[in-house]
Structure 1
Amino acid sequence: MIYRFAFLLFAGLCFLGCKKQDKTVSITDIHDSWQFKETAAKDWNTASIPATVHSNLLENQMIDDPFVGDNEFKLQWISEKDWEYKTTFEADASLRSKKHIELHFDGLDTYASVYLNDSLILEADNAFRRWKKDVKKILRDKNSLRIVFKNATEIEEVEKAKLYYELPEGNRVFSRKPQFHYGWDWGPKFITSGISGPVQLKAWDDLKVEDIFIRQEKMDNERALLTAEIELTADESKTVTVEVKVNGDAVSSHEMQLRKGRSDYRIPFEIEDPQWWWTHNLGDPYLYDIQVNIFDSRALYASKTIRKGLRTIELVTQEEEGKKAFYFKLNGVPVFMKGANYIPQNSFQDRVKKEDYERLLSDAVKSNMNMLRVWGGGIYEKDIFYDLCDEKGILLWQDFMFACAMYPGDEAFLQNVKEEAIDNIKRLRNHSSIALWCGNNENSEGWARWGWQAGKSEEQKERIWGHYQAVFNGILPEQVKRLTDDIPYWESSPKYGRGDERYISEGDAHDWWVWHDAYPFEHFEENVPRFMSEFGFQGFPSYKAIKYVTQSDSIDISGKNFVSHQKHSRGFQLIREYMERDFPVPDTDEDYVYVSQLLQAYGIGKGIEAQRRAMPYCMGSLYWQLNDCWPVVSWSGIDGLGEWKALQYTAKHAFEDLLLSSRLQQDTLEINLVNDALSGLKGDLKLSLIDFEGKELWKTEMPAEVGANESKLVYRFPLSVIGTDRKEVALKVDFNGKERVFYFVKPKELGLKRGKIERQIQKKESGYEIVLTSDTLQKDVFLYTDTEGHFEDNFFDLLPGTEKRIQFSTQADLNEKDLHLKTLNKIIDSQ
């Protein structure tokens, strides 16, 4: 790789060989010796931070596990109280001798009064912002720090009383804190408070780097033109040299005249023959290490390294062939986005550790996802989340934190939102994974068609909508445009609600006719939008999660301990209604949980494949939802304990870059090849009609091809070929070694027979290999065990006379008697 030097000066050469004295900002963590209590109580209790009050209470064994049984309802008193935290810390003379000392809070949830040495120094009112305060004048050798958290409910009532009309949906709209804390149709109600981020003292002398943004100006295969935008605070005017290194090699050295106070500076540089950042399925998510050093004479004042991927991202929404498009171009290439909606991983964010982020985002990659949508009712995630998405090649549709409501628009609220946007855009804008900033989740759809306008005067409606416009067509897009290098902004997801006929032809869509309106799964095949950013169906969590919730060794889904973990009012009813349509309804709770997962995977699988077959008309499939914040019956593919449901395995196969897909159209089964790769494919298409004992009844073979980034209909199989009952046969299709089996009737109608499955378990370095064979078709084979680990594949069809090898990753010992399996054959045959 060749680097070009821009503005190379003699002074810059000197600094490469000179000894550099580090005079960067001194950072002191204040994380020890914290205590907390209810404000009205006398006794203090030990506290770890960052944490919520709920987590600290649990650590002190003062409450039962909030996720077990119906404990959620027993713990609502916590959010009705005021709480306070305190600690003491030392600041020695060398620290206090620094010219500038600030106290920083990376998260205060939410209404917090901060006292340092009994002086009120800060009043915070936004859980999404970072707060700081100059404390040099009041800092001592020994210091006391106290933070009082006012319960959100009381403040929300005060704010509500200021309005002469009511805002949908409830008092949560007045607090800038995670909206899912107030309960959702998949989540519990835990209105938390606490110190949600690190607490640090930052001290420095003459110069402080406030922020560095690597702006990508222009890029092609020959060179990337970039600018380091540096925000500095200096005590005096002086001349410094700014050096930029890329992967350790200096590419720019620029003499710069600093001004006293806070100022912005621009340092251009370039990289020749740049490596492009791609999603993991299309190439290498290559990241450069870009280091910015600031020197004064022979001293190093500041140094910061930013990991940056070079790529172009564009949201195409203009009219094409008489219709408005909606798709992303990555590095100039239209890319079909495959993935899911992401919510916070835990109701109590402090319980989410680095390994949890690593595991979940690795699961997304294993599932062949190239985009996640960070939903607007959750949080702006921790830095590690975005770091890992950069590294793993996952693009992010990033919502601002507004969901399913209308919000106030007074001057204080709007200023708070503006500061929140600035904080988070600046924090995240160097991340290559950010593909889109979206204003909100379903706010405009709710206003248009959810009855929110009922009973309001025209003046009130105009005022509420004006406040909406001020935030989502004013503040937010203005800050995205000002602070990023042309990252797209989208006002609201979806563009049009499903009550508007344009939902299928413009913008992104949320399709909830399936589930909420009980439409059949075939609706997904008949109504494909330009980009599906939300659609879903519930499934039960794993046996492990159910046992955890109920604290029982058996599976019980009818007792109150488990029923309280179904948050949709019609959830159980809808699952059964759909199951009766398409699947056999089992008699036992254990089998019912298994079939509910098959049902969820079956329905969402239809949607994913329909959307991929429709490429390029449709260019995205993001189902609701990837994960859970606790163990619950929900729309997730991965449950609250991290276990993969059948949906996640189905998504993994449905999102592969090469997909063999079918659709039954009257008397014909249409076969599509869908190819997301950047090069075309040619090969032999082999089709054979088999019965469930493996007998071949018909076959054909022909050459076939599919272009790069293309979906192509390659074969129409006439059902007249089937000479026997459609319930007894399947079509096996093979293209270049990739195989799929397609059926002609619903799962409940299949003529499946019981048969014995032979199995062998072989120890491997990273776990075990499980080998399965059978003389008859085994439908939806589900492997499960109490041993901690992960099955590489599951809920699969085992063809007669073939060998299926499954890898089970585990650090534990697995005995054959501890490995269990279920098949749909047994359930159908027993009925």
Structure 2
Amino acid sequence: MRYSVLLLLLVFCYSCQVEKPNLQRQYIDAPWELYLEQFTNPIADSITIPSTVHSAIIAKTRHPFIGNNENRMQWITETDWTYKTQFKVDRNTLKKEYINLNFEGIDTYASISLNGVTILETDNAFLHWKTDVKPYLKEENELLIAIKSPLPIEEEKAAANPYTLPVGNRVYTRKAQFQYGWDWGPKLNTMGIIKPVYLEAYDHFKIEDVYIKQNYIQDSIANLTAQIKLSRPITEQLTYQIKVNDSLYPIKITDSLLASDVHATQEVHFEISNPQLWWPHNIGEPYLYEMEVLVLKDGKLIDSKKLQRGIRTIELVNEPDDLGTSFYFKVNGVPVYMKGANYIPQNSMQDLVTDQHYEELLSDAVDANMNMLRVWGGGSYENDVFYEKCDKKGILVWQDFMFACAMYPGDDRFRESVTQEITQQITRLRNHSSIALWCGNNETSEAWKHWGWQNGRPQTERDSIWEDYRAVFQIAMPKYVSELTKEPYWESTPKLGRGNPRYEFEGDAHDWRVWHDAYPFEHFEDHVPRFMSEFGFQSHPSYETIQYINKDGSLNIHSVDYASHQKHERGNELIQEYMARDFPVPTNDEDYVYVSQLLQAYGMSKGFQAHRRARPYNMGTLFWQLNDCWPAVSWSSIDYFGNWKALHYQAKRDFENLLISNYVKDGVLHSYVVNDDLNDLTSGYSIKIMDFYGKELYQESFVGTAGMNSSTKFHHIDLSSLDIDLSSVYVYTEFGSRRAIDVLVRPKDLKLPKEELSLKSIKTSVGYQITLKSAVFVKDAFLYSPVKGHFSDNFFDLEPDVEKTLFFETDSDVAPLFKYKTLNGLMDH
């Protein structure tokens, strides 16, 4: 049967009656009960969905984040569990033509029954499951979700595989891989209903999906297509409407729908005149259009879908050049330097992460001048709110598919499940303007080639394992990314690891020679890759976090409790080794924690600045890692409780669009100005060398220009030509609005004077204004307080007789006692 579709675009008002859409959604979120294996009495009740078993039973057991309780919680994963609830459905809903039950996320192996009838079997925590329940639904209903332990299922799958795969049985289950334990996280293999459960009831049809496809931007016109997928093919005449910014923005139709066959998907072509583009926050406004698609039948609104969409182009430039192969992103045709970090799940029990947690962490990323986050492949595809906030805040997202540090099986069900997973996730996330890249996996290709995983295997086995890799990452993923979205695809990060000498010259790099191989921090300055997508260094967390971990509330970093929160087998040893190289090594735990954070910031800063100085050869620096999933010793810049470490404050300084970068190489002081803005900056440049009491020993100044999107060497001087003691001076540099303070030798070699620091505070409406002053140079001033709050700046250097003002923001009614530490105070005088 032929049909016609009438496309109607209304600019100022609807020309037909708008009624409430026929789609009804009913969330089944509370109360649920949780049963341990056989039905007796519930072990927990009044549970709200989302939920994990671990979080549901914390009140009746132990919190796995305190002390070594993690070890006592492993029985949970070895056990089968059942969630149970009753819910009512009104008669009008029951009369609807279609009724589906949706499970946005079940972790992982579950048998689901409704009113005694099995309706679904699940085996992938990354899938949205949906099933027709109209035949089984009543006014009063009972829903059971029986979740099986993944461990015996994985053992069975491993036994059926003709060969053993590297890293163990986790590869057989499609769920967050970090739950099996990582070198920064606990082994908390959770199970549960990890995302919303809801009924959808409707007549006729509903909108299944809308994709706003950006075709091109040309001559002040953005040409777009709304791909509208309905729940079923429609033979009746329909009216489609599109609204942009409540139809007040100048838009017009460029094409109409002429369909001769019955399809569930239709395309509506439209244009926006003089579009306002979406930009990363550090170089422009992340402008979002409000868009709404409406579908009407016989003048009545059947369904509508609202979304926010930015108009922007993004391109990954990966081309051969004289130095190797480039790797950089163009946004709206402009090369953009990427500054940011790798993001991991914010909690091992992900149901405990709230919208406020997302808001605070992503705001902290913006505050530290980050314009890109990489969602790491061993965690989870994040909740919608994560991407929505990245869109609004102007943070680009490098999105890994959820595969990490492993070779995966290739049986039919696994491939079928993975295909569903990647197509669902691309479809869910593709409207987000923040998505910059789809990446197949984390370190899988690198591991297979350089981690010894092929050793001792016959060639036929190696070929078979690699063919399973190719089927997913070289065939399926690029196919679906290219078919379903316009963003670029990258097979594996890194393209080349430190096991390949070409890692500095081609694609992206993970450089772990610092830390894992114990190379000195200066390695970062001598070996700069095209794009550093992962590198890092550990430190201890805040005092608050350490006191939380230790059951006795102490700052003892040698306790049994605390030892269980250091997951890297050489972690403490490496911190000690690096600290002895560059810093004084304190003998008490409180000072040691402080210096460990200085050490982390000091080393990583060498990398940040070396990478930025090298632009355009290098066009990105993403460190490992932004955040923690539990209280721990780790590579994070923000600890589990949201406290900024010295690294995050240093990243904020080093990621400013305008950076003054000074470093010493072979006795020569080099000074660069890096400008990530899209405008040239001409200003006075001044460099001074001062002693620790404020006496000027050397000065030079001139007018210079830092070109847009560039790194420019402004000054150099052979320090041997100056009659100065390098251990007793600091360098002050100024250009435009930026100031930089640097020292010329390792911190442990500084001859710092005894601290003479004064501190005054004044109450404000949101906390306290703090003013500091010292008669001598102060190195690495760290302010802290037992009152929960946030310092606007910390771990900073202070010039002699120069006041510094900062702010402490707090919600507490308790007047804080401000304390401080300085590197001066740790030196022998």
Alignment TM-score, normalising by the size of structure 1: 0.97
Shift of 1:725: 1.6
Q: In the aligned structure 2, how far is the partner of 1:24 from the partner of 1:362? A: 38
Shift of 1:695: 1.0
Matched, 1:467 2:468: yes
Aligned ranges for residues 322-471 of structure 1 at < 5 Å? Answer: 323-471=324-472
Shift of 1:737: 3.8
Shift of 1:829: 2.5
Matched, 1:826 2:825: yes
Aligned ranges for residues 64-83 of structure 1 at < 5 Å? Answer: 64-83=62-81
What amino acid is the match of 2:710? E
Alignment partner of 1:289: what SS?
A: strand
Structure 1 range deviating more: 313-322 or 446-455: 313-322
Q: Report if the CA contact (8 A) 2:586-2:592 is conserved.
A: yes
Residue equivalent to 1:713: 713
Structure 1 range deviating more: 539-548 or 261-270: 261-270
In structure 1, runs of 5+ residues without a counterpart are 1-6
Aligned ranges for residues 282-681 of structure 1 at < 5 Å? Answer: 282-321=283-322, 323-484=324-485, 486-681=486-681
Shift of 1:455: 1.5
Cα 1:11/1:393, change in 2 over 3 Å: closer
What amino acid is the match of 1:415? E
Residue equivalent to 2:85: 87
Q: In the aligned structure 2, how far is the partner of 1:458 from the partner of 1:318? A: 33
Q: Report if the CA contact (8 A) 1:242-1:255 is conserved.
A: no
Q: Report if the CA contact (8 A) 2:154-2:173 is conserved.
A: yes
Cα 1:726/1:828, change in 2 over 3 Å: same
Alignment partner of 2:445: what SS?
A: helix
Residue equivalent to 1:3: none
Residue deviations 1:612-631, cap 9 Å, x none? 00000000000000000001
Structure 1 range deviating more: 110-119 or 231-240: 231-240
Matched, 1:781 2:781: yes
Alignment partner of 1:607: what SS?
A: helix
Q: In the aligned structure 1, how far is the partner of 2:718 from the partner of 2:467? A: 57
Q: Report if the CA contact (8 A) 1:514-1:521 is conserved.
A: yes
Q: Report if the CA contact (8 A) 2:521-2:603 is conserved.
A: yes
The partner residue of 1:139 within 98, 117, 137 is 137
In structure 2, runs of 5+ residues without a counterpart are none
Cα 1:553/1:68, change in 2 over 3 Å: closer
Residue deviations 1:441-472, cap 9 Å, x none? 00001000101011211000000000000000
Shift of 1:764: 1.7
Residue deviations 1:561-606, cap 9 Å, x none? 0011000000000000000000000010000000000000000010
Structure 1 range deviating more: 707-716 or 23-32: 23-32
Shift of 1:789: 1.0
Q: In the aligned structure 2, how far is the partner of 1:279 from the partner of 1:315? A: 15
Aligned ranges for residues 36-115 of structure 1 at < 5 Å? Answer: 36-40=34-38, 42-44=40-42, 45-46=44-45, 47-58=47-58, 61-115=59-113
What amino acid is the match of 1:219? I
Identity %: 50
What amino acid is the match of 2:377? G
Residue equivalent to 1:723: 723
Matched, 1:755 2:751: no
Q: In the aligned structure 2, how far is the partner of 1:602 from the partner of 1:13? A: 56
Shift of 1:501: 1.2
What amino acid is the match of 1:163? N
Q: In the aligned structure 2, how far is the partner of 1:790 from the partner of 1:716? A: 38
Residue deviations 1:537-571, cap 9 Å, x none? 00000000000000334310001000110000000
Cα 1:15/1:822, change in 2 over 3 Å: closer
Shift of 1:516: 0.3
Residue equivalent to 2:126: 128
Q: In the aligned structure 2, how far is the partner of 1:642 from the partner of 1:14? A: 46
The partner residue of 1:31 within 29, 42, 49 is 29
Q: Report if the CA contact (8 A) 1:234-1:258 is conserved.
A: no
What amino acid is the match of 2:324? K
What amino acid is the match of 1:357? Y
Structure 1 range deviating more: 140-149 or 41-50: 41-50
Q: In the aligned structure 2, how far is the partner of 1:821 from the partner of 1:105? A: 50
Cα 1:11/1:628, change in 2 over 3 Å: closer
Q: Report if the CA contact (8 A) 2:7-2:257 is conserved.
A: no
Cα 1:559/1:10, change in 2 over 3 Å: closer
Shift of 1:753: 1.6
Q: Report if the CA contact (8 A) 1:243-1:252 is conserved.
A: no
Structure 1 range deviating more: 252-261 or 665-674: 252-261
Q: Report if the CA contact (8 A) 1:338-1:370 is conserved.
A: yes
Shift of 1:255: 7.3
Q: Report if the CA contact (8 A) 1:782-1:795 is conserved.
A: yes
Matched, 1:264 2:265: yes
Shift of 1:183: 0.2
Residue equivalent to 1:703: 703
Residue deviations 1:411-435, cap 9 Å, x none? 1100100000011100000000000
Cα 1:573/1:245, change in 2 over 3 Å: same
Residue equivalent to 1:196: 194
Q: Report if the CA contact (8 A) 1:240-1:257 is conserved.
A: no
Structure 1 range deviating more: 579-588 or 549-558: 549-558
Structure 1 range deviating more: 449-458 or 718-727: 718-727
Q: In the aligned structure 2, how far is the partner of 1:363 from the partner of 1:11? A: 41
Q: In the aligned structure 2, how far is the partner of 1:267 from the partner of 1:142? A: 42
Matched, 1:22 2:34: no
Q: In the aligned structure 2, how far is the partner of 1:178 from the partner of 1:128? A: 8
Structure 1 range deviating more: 260-269 or 173-182: 260-269
CA RMSD, aligned part only?
1.7
What amino acid is the match of 1:494? P
Q: In the aligned structure 2, how far is the partner of 1:514 from the partner of 1:487? A: 32
Residue deviations 1:456-508, cap 9 Å, x none? 11000000000000000111111111110x20000000001111111010000
Residue deviations 1:728-751, cap 9 Å, x none? 111211112421122111000000
Cα 1:93/1:262, change in 2 over 3 Å: farther
Aligned ranges for residues 734-749 of structure 1 at < 5 Å? Answer: 734-749=734-749
Residue deviations 1:169-201, cap 9 Å, x none? 110000000000000000000111000011100
Q: Report if the CA contact (8 A) 1:15-1:298 is conserved.
A: no
Shift of 1:813: 3.9
Q: In the aligned structure 2, how far is the partner of 1:206 from the partner of 1:40? A: 42
What amino acid is the match of 1:305? K
What amino acid is the match of 2:475? G
Q: Report if the CA contact (8 A) 1:241-1:255 is conserved.
A: no
Q: In the aligned structure 1, how far is the partner of 2:10 from the partner of 2:328? A: 44
Q: In the aligned structure 2, how far is the partner of 1:204 from the partner of 1:511? A: 53
Cα 1:101/1:515, change in 2 over 3 Å: same
Q: In the aligned structure 1, how far is the partner of 2:10 from the partner of 2:736? A: 56
Q: In the aligned structure 2, how far is the partner of 1:719 from the partner of 1:133? A: 73
Alignment partner of 2:656: what SS?
A: coil
Q: Report if the CA contact (8 A) 1:238-1:259 is conserved.
A: no
Q: Report if the CA contact (8 A) 1:8-1:252 is conserved.
A: no
Residue deviations 1:254-313, cap 9 Å, x none? 875789976111100000000010000000000001111111222011111110000000
Shift of 1:252: 5.5
Matched, 1:770 2:767: no
Q: In the aligned structure 2, how far is the partner of 1:366 from the partner of 1:607? A: 20
Residue equivalent to 1:224: 222
Shift of 1:23: 2.5
Shift of 1:144: 0.8
What amino acid is the match of 1:742? D
Q: In the aligned structure 1, how far is the partner of 2:29 from the partner of 2:735? A: 58
Structure 1 range deviating more: 121-130 or 212-221: 212-221
What amino acid is the match of 2:748? K
Shift of 1:142: 1.0
